[in-house]
Copies of this chain bind each other. A is one copy, B any other.
Amino acid sequence: MNALHHCISQYYPISIPAWEALSSALTRVELPKNAFLVREGTVCNKLYFLERGCLRGYYNLDGKEVTYWFGFEHNFITSFYSFISRKPGIENIQVLEDSTLWGISSEALHQLFDAHHDLERLVRIINEQYYIRLEERLMAMQFKTARERYEQLLGTSPHILQRIPLGQIASYLGISQETLSRIRSQV
C-alpha cells in the first residue's frame, strides 16, 4: 500500500485522516496471469490501483480482440466508461502477468468524497492527468503514421515491448500484426 501512497502524493498530498479512511476502505486483490478483472457485459463498479503486474483492456469486434490500453505498475485501473456511467461495458480487463491490486467500490469512494474534500480533489487531479494522456494518444492516432506511432511508443514506453505480445501491441497501435512486424524489421 506504500506504493499507492507514494503514487498519490505525486498528484496531490492528501491529509492523514483522508489517507487513513482511504486505505481502510481498500481491498487487496491477487490475480494470476490470464485471469479476468472485468468481463464485458457487466458493470465494473470498482476502481483499482495496480501495485504489481500488468493488465490489458480489450473488446471484441467482429470476432477479433481489440486491445486499447495496457496497465502497468502504479497505474489506476478500471473500465472507465462502466465505472463512471454505471452501465455495463463492452470491455474485458485481463491479467497479463501475475498481479497485485488494491480495489475500492464506487459507493465507498463516493462516501469518502463526502467526508474528505481533499480526496475528491485528488481524484479530480488524477482524472485531469489521465485526460491529457488520452488526448496525446488520440492526436498520435489521428495524425501520425503507424511507423511514427511505433517509434513514439519505443521512446516513451520501451518496457511495453518486452512484456507484451506483438499482436496486442499492434492492436493498441491500431495496425495489423503483420504491419508492425514489417515496421520492426525495417528500423
Contact = CB atoms under 8 A, between A and B. Distances in A.
Interface in A99-144: 113, 117, 120-121, 123-124, 127-132, 134-139, 141-143
Contacts of A142: 66, 68, 141, 174
Number of copies: 2
Given A66-B143, A120-B121, A121-B113, A131 B138 contact: no
Given A68-B139, A120-B121, A138-B137, A81 B174 contact: no
B120 A124 contact: yes
A85 interface: yes
The dominant DSSP class at the A interface is helix
Interface residues of A, number: 29
A59 to B, nearest CB: 8
Contacts of A124: 120, 123-124, 127
CB-based closest 6 A-B pairs? A142-B174, A124-B124, A141-B141, A117-B117, A127-B127, A84-B128
21 contacts: A66-B142, A68-B138, A68-B143, A80-B128, A80-B131, A80-B132, A80-B135, A84-B131, A117-B117, A117-B120, A120-B120, A120-B121, A124-B127, A127-B127, A127-B128, A130-B131, A134-B134, A138-B138, A138-B141, A141-B142, A143-B174
